[in-house]
């Protein structure tokens, strides 16, 4: 970890920035093949997906457009209520569009399950999912990533867009947050 002043706040690095960049390059080649001759609209889910969107979109060697949503998962982390609130909606009419959702992580899969159905109900021609990371609990939902970076263990991770209380999103690596950082507030 290059950030000496927070090194003691983090445990092991699970995915380095270099590993993520290489994997996103591979996924970009797959997406280019799969969407040959089709327009793609990348939909990023704020805020966590900012980093993966920036890196993945720039790895694509073909035209692409981007839009953003912000959603809030009510009951997230406790009960899977299925209630998701839109905090910021798309600016784009997606009727007939091929949408590729870009996410940082699939944890329970609740957010993406709802989002996929929501975008399909607006008339998207197709909705696929690219996720940088996936946790084991995701296999309990009906969500599968069409394009997946890495499976990671069920630990509290930060970096590459993922936060704890809005901190650490800017780290290039995905690292396990030291439990003592959140033990007292839970
Ligand atoms: C995180 C992450 C996904 C979601 C995944 O977002 O960015 O959107 O949770 O969890 P799930 O698979 O259990 O639904 P969060 O709500 O923390 O907002 P953020 O992106 O602004 O950090």
* pLDDT, tens digit, 9 for 90 and up, residues 27-39: 999 999 999 999 9
158 three-class SS: strand
Domain ranges of the chain: 17-152
Residue located nearest, by CA, to atom 10 of ligand 1: 107
What is the average pLDDT across 53-62? 98
Percent of the chain residues past pLDDT 90, beyond the cut: 80
CA dist 146 and 128 (Å) reads 6
Query: Catalytic: 4?
Result: no
Nearest-atom index, ligand 1, CA of 77? 13
Per-residue pLDDT band for 78 (boundaries 50, 70, 90) equals: very low
CA dist 107 and 111 (Å) reads 9
CA dist 7 and 168 (Å) reads 11
137 CA to centre of ligand 1 in angstroms: 14
pTM recorded for the entire structure = 0.93
Per-residue pLDDT band for 184 (boundaries 50, 70, 90) equals: low
Task: Please state whether beta strands 157-158 and 126-134 pair in parallel, antiparallel, or not at all (unpaired).
Answer: unpaired
Task: Look at residue 89 and tell me whether its pLDDT is greater than 80.
Answer: yes
| Residue from 11, 55, 93, 107 carrying the catalytic annotation | 107
- Please indicate whether residue 129, judged by its CB atom, sits closer than 6 Å to ligand 1: no
Q: Does domain 17-152 have CATH number 3.30.160.150?
A: no
pLDDT at 127: 98
Task: Look at residue 79 and tell me whether its pLDDT is greater than 60.
Answer: no
- Please indicate whether residue 109, judged by its CB atom, sits closer than 6 Å to ligand 1: yes
90 CA to centre of ligand 1 in angstroms: 17
Task: Look at residue 157 and tell me whether its pLDDT is greater than 90.
Answer: yes
Torsion angles phi and psi, residue 94, rounded to 5: -100, 10
Per-residue pLDDT band for 138 (boundaries 50, 70, 90) equals: confident
What is the average pLDDT across 160-178? 96
- Please indicate whether residue 137, judged by its CB atom, sits closer than 6 Å to ligand 1: no
What is the average pLDDT across 95-124? 96
DSSP 178: P
């Amino acid at each position: 970890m290059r950030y000496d002043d927070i090194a003691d706040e983090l445990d092991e690095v699970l995915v380095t920035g270099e590993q993520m960049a290489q994997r996103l390059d591979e996924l970009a080649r797959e997406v280019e093949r799969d969407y040959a001759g089709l327009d793609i609209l990348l939909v990023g889910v704020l805020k966590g997906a900012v980093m993966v969107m920036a890196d993945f979109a720039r790895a694509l060697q073909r035209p692409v457009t981007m839009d953003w949503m912000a959603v809030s998962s009510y009951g997230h982390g406790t009960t899977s209520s299925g209630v998701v609130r839109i905090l910021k909606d798309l600016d784009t009419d997606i009727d007939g569009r091929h949408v590729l959702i870009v996410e940082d992580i699939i944890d329970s899969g609740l957010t993406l399950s709802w989002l996929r159905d929501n975008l399909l109900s607006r008339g998207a021609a197709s909705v696929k999912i690219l996720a940088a990371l996936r946790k084991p609990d995701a296999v309990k939902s009906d969500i599968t990533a069409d394009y997946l970076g890495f499976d990671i263990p069920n630990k509290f991770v930060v970096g590459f867009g993922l936060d704890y209380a809005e901190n650490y999103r800017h780290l290039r690596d995905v690292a396990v947050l030291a439990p003592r950082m959140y033990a007292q507030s839970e």
